[in-house]
Amino acid sequence: MRSLFLSAALASTLAVACNTDPADTTLEATSAALTAGDAEADSAALGTLAFIPGSALTAGERVAHLKAWVASSLTCADATTTGDGVALTFSSDCSWNGRKWTGTVAITWDAVGKTAAIEMEGVKVNGATLSGTIDVASLGDRHVTVDADMTKTRADGKVVDGTWDAEYQWDDTSYTVVASQQTLNVNGHSATRSVDQLVWAKADHAPSSGTVTLNGFRGRSWTFVYAVVDGAHQVTVTGPRGTKTFVIGDDGAVE
C-alpha cells in the first residue's frame, strides 16, 4: 500500500496551518494529526501484508503465499517460516510502501487463516522506531479490520502512543478507509482522530471524497471534507477560525 494515510494527514496539516491563529494550539494539534496519520499508514501497510490477495485460506497457505510474494515483490526483505507464521526481516533501509524499513515483523495466523497477529521487533520506519501489536481480521478479499496498539518514537525524540480500530478496503485502482477511530497521546497531551469513507485513487495526489475529524488539544476540533470539483481536488476545513476551502495541488499541498 502506498503512503495514502500519511499524505492525507499532510494535506490536513497544511490546510489547517493556513487557518492558524497564533494564539491557539493549531500547530501543536496538527503536528499530532500528522503523526497519527503517519502511524496509521504503517499499521495499514502491515495489515495488508497479512492478507496478500489470493486464494490462501489456512495458516499454512497464508505462510506460503506471503513468502512467495516477498520473494518476487519485496526482494530487500527475507521471510522465514515460524510455525503458523512468518518472520519478515527488512534489510537496512528496505524501500517499501514509499518508506524505508528496517527490523523484523512477526506475523502469525489463526489455524483457518482468517485473523493475524503482528508484532514488531527493532522496527524503524524513516528513522522512527515502532513497537507494539496489531491484530488484523480478514472480512473478504482486500478487506480487513485493524486493531492496533503502538508506540512511535520519532527521530526528534517525541514519543507518541496510539490505539485505533479501523476498516480498510483496496483494489487495483484505489484505497478506502471505510472507518477509523484513533486515540493518541503526545507528550502528555491527548487527542482523537476519526476517518469516514476516505477514498483515494492510486494515481491521484489527494482523496476524492471522505471526511477526517480531529478533536485536538485543549478541546478544539477541526474537520476536513475532501471532494473533486471541476477536476480539482479540494479540502474544506472547518476549525477554530471558521470554514475555508483549499485546492490541493499536484504535490499534495494546498494552494
What mean pLDDT is predicted for residues 230-244? 86
Count the neighbouring beta carbons within 10 Å of the beta carbon of residue 126.
16
What mean pLDDT is predicted for residues 169-193? 85
Q: How far is CA 72 from CA 6, 66, 76, in A?
A: 26, 10, 10
* The three grid cell numbers given for residue 86, joined into one nine-digit string: 512468518
Count the neighbouring beta carbons within 10 Å of the beta carbon of residue 157.
7
pLDDT score for 255: 64
1-5, 74-78, 93-97 — which is least confidently predicted? 1-5
Place of cell 505462510: 63
pLDDT score for 28: 60
Q: How confident is the model at residue 80 (pLDDT cuts 50, 70, 90)?
A: very high
Amino acid letter, residue 230 = D
* The three grid cell numbers given for residue 159, joined into one nine-digit string: 514519543
Q: Which residues pair with 128 in a beta bridge?
A: 125
pLDDT score for 243: 85
pLDDT score for 222: 83
Amino acid letter, residue 101 = W
Let me know: does 26 contact 248? Beta carbons within 8 Å: no
Q: How confident is the model at residue 11 (pLDDT cuts 50, 70, 90)?
A: very low
pLDDT tens digits, one per residue of 89-114:
999 889 987 789 999 999 999 999 99
15-19, 118-122, 162-166 — which is least confidently predicted? 15-19
Dist CA 228 CA 222 (whole Å): 20
The rounded mean pLDDT for the chain is: 82
DSSP state letters, the chain: --SHHHHHHHHHHHHHHTT--TTSSHHHHHHHHHHHHHHHHHHHHHHHHHT-SSS--SHHHHHHHHHHHHHHH-TTEEEEE-SSEEEEEEEEEEEETTEEEEEEEEEEE-TTSSEEEEEEEEEEETTEEEEEEEEEEEEETTEEEEEEEEEEE-TTS-EEEEEEEEEEEE-SSEEEEEEEEEEEEETTEEEEEEEEEEEEETT-SS-SEEEEEEE-GGG-EEEEEEEEETTEEEEEEEETTEEEEEEB-TTS-B-
Q: Which residues pair with 71 in a beta bridge?
A: none
User: Which of 35-49, 96-110, 170-184 is most confident?
Assistant: 96-110
Let me know: does 195 contact 9? Beta carbons within 8 Å: no
What mean pLDDT is predicted for residues 33-40? 69
Q: Of the candidates 1, 79, 80, 78, which has an alpha carbon nearest to the alpha carbon of residue 42? A: 1
Q: Residue 30 pLDDT > 80, yes or no?
A: no
